[in-house]
Amino acid sequence: MQGPQGDSIENINGKAVSIECFLDHSSIDDEIYVRWTGFNDKLMQYQGNIEPKNLLIKSFHQFYKKEYDFTKLKYLVDYILESWISI
């Protein structure tokens, strides 16, 4: 994580995350991290963006038809469907 106090390690489990967190990061040499962008007063939590988001999206568009690991995306879709069906 990268925030106002500098770099830190945080547990983002149980937090809302962007779909980019579930993309294949293996083709990206840059460090993948969350940059805190602001504090949500209603939730009393900081919110952030995954970085470098543009490289994650570009990598998906370049490699999804070739050697792309869909494991995390499949997990996300399965989780959403399971949650939706159990309602």
pLDDT reported for residue 36 = 81
φ, ψ at 60 (rounded to 5°): -60, -50
* pLDDT above 90 coverage of the chain, percent: 13
pLDDT single digits (tens) 27-59 = 888 888 888 888 888 988 888 888 888 898 888
Q: What is the DSSP annotation of the chain?
A: -EETTEE-----TTS---GGGGS--TT--SPPEEEEEEEETTTTEEEEEEETHHHHHHHHHHHTTSS---HHHHHHHHHHHHHHHT-
CB-based contacts of 7, cutoff 8 Å, min separation 6: 1, 33
pLDDT reported for residue 32 = 87
What is the pTM for the complete model shown? 0.69
